[in-house]
């Protein structure tokens, strides 16, 4: 059995999909309620997509990223998951929808790894070795809150994206500041971005030619995400940027 066939078998044993296409148009949004988490998880289940059963909330932004990429690119598109982990959902899901040019980078990978056609390798999302204009889409889900220089990140993403390419970013969020009690995770202070932080980031991105693909309402009241280890409650924000046509 070829590596690709083995990988497909592995995915199909975890899920049965896909059965149809996602309907997750929240490409620029805040996760508002616990019900939205459950609705996203149920949609993924009906599609037959493997999921992270120990962190069902991550289905919400991963499904939005999948929906956006499937709707805006072709199967031969080159996709980068910036800050990918082996358990991250978006690249395996894209594989199930026919994508094969899939790369994930993270500082945790000490040597290149392959999972079917997906290549995982060492990489700093603020300074990569890839050529200019080399990706049709980049995802970066729940990464930038972990000590990332967001200005350097947007600058690098703008360099890597082809004209009209898309950058999908999600992050821990709440509209008002949340005290993280000076706690650390992954070796850096925990940060939950607030409304002012997101607006500042969008201005940074604009400076590098990255524009929102739609309006985003940053209001929220519920805190449907719980980081039990640190006793923190918050939510997620996701925003999608398009590189200007050159």
| pLDDT band of 14, cuts 50, 70, 90 | low
Q: 235 or 50, which is more confident?
A: 235
Strands 161-173 and 188-189: unpaired
| pLDDT value at 179 more than 70 | yes
**Measured distance CA(48)–CA(78) in Å, rounded:** 24
Q: 143 or 9, which is more confident?
A: 143
**What does the pLDDT look like over 138-152, one tens digit per residue?**
999 999 999 999 999
**What does the pLDDT look like over 84-131, one tens digit per residue?**
999 899 999 999 999 999 999 999 999 999 988 899 999 999 999 999
Q: How far is CA 179 from CA 49, 66, 122, 185, in A?
A: 35, 32, 32, 15
**Helix H or strand E segment including 50:** none
Query: Facing residues of 236 across strands?
Result: 172
Query: Facing residues of 238 across strands?
Result: 29, 170
Residue 16's pLDDT is 54
Query: Facing residues of 82 across strands?
Result: 105
| pLDDT value at 53 more than 70 | no
DSSP SS3 for 151: helix
> Which residues, at least 6 apart from 212, have a Cβ–Cβ distance to it below 8 Å?
28, 202, 239, 240, 241, 242
| pLDDT value at 52 more than 80 | no
The residue assigned the tokens 């997906």 is 118
Residue 113's pLDDT is 92
Taken as a whole, the chain contains a residue count of 246
Locate the domains of the chain by residue range: 3-12+50-243
Residue 3's pLDDT is 53
Residue 55's pLDDT is 84
DSSP letter for each residue of 33-58: -HHHHHHHHHHHHHHT----TT-TTH
Q: Which structure tokens are listed for 24?
A: 């997750």
What percent of the chain has pLDDT above 90? Answer: 83
| pLDDT value at 71 more than 60 | yes
Domain 3-12+50-243 has CATH 3.40.50.150: yes
| pLDDT value at 1 more than 50 | no
Q: Which structure tokens are listed for 120?
A: 């995982």
**What does the pLDDT look like over 180-208, one tens digit per residue?**
988 998 889 999 999 999 999 999 999 99
Residue 172's pLDDT is 98
> How confident is the model over 57-70, as a mean pLDDT?
97
The residue assigned the tokens 């997509």 is 49
Q: pTM for the complete prediction?
A: 0.93
Tell me what the pLDDT averaged over the chain comes to: 92
Q: Comparing C-alpha atoms, which of 7, 5, 157, 170 is closest to residue 93? A: 7
Residue 182's pLDDT is 85
| pLDDT value at 5 more than 70 | no
Query: Facing residues of 234 across strands?
Result: 225
> How confident is the model over 153-157, as a mean pLDDT?
98
Backbone angles phi, psi at 152, to 5 degrees: -65, -35
């Amino acid at each position: 059995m070829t590596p690709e066939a083995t990988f497909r078998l592995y995915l199909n044993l975890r899920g049965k999909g896909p059965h149809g296409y996602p309907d997750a148009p929240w490409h620029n949004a805040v996760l508002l309620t616990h019900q939205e988490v459950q609705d996203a998880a149920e949609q993924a289940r009906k599609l037959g997509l493997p999921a992270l059963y120990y962190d069902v909330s991550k289905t919400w932004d991963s499904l939005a990223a999948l929906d956006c990429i499937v709707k805006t690119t072709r199967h031969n598109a080159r996709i980068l998951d910036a800050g990918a982990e082996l358990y991250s959902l978006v690249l395996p899901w894209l594989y199930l929808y026919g994508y094969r040019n899939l790369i994930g980078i993270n500082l945790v990978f000490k040597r290149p790894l392959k999972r079917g056609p997906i290549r995982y390798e060492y990489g700093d999302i603020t300074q990569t070795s890839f050529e200019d204009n080399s990706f049709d889409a980049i995802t970066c889900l729940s990464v930038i809150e972990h000590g990332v220089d967001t200005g350097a990140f947007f600058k690098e993403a703008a360099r890597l994206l082809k004209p009209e390419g898309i950058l999908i970013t999600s992050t821990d969020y709440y509209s008002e500041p949340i005290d993280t009690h000076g706690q650390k995770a992954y070796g850096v202070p925990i940060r939950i971005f607030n409304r002012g932080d997101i607006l500042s980031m969008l201005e940074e991105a604009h400076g590098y030619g990255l524009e929102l693909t739609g309006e985003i309402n940053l209001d929220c009241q519920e805190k449907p995400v719980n980081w039990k280890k640190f006793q923190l409650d918050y939510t997620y924000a996701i925003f999608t940027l398009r590189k200007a046509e050159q």
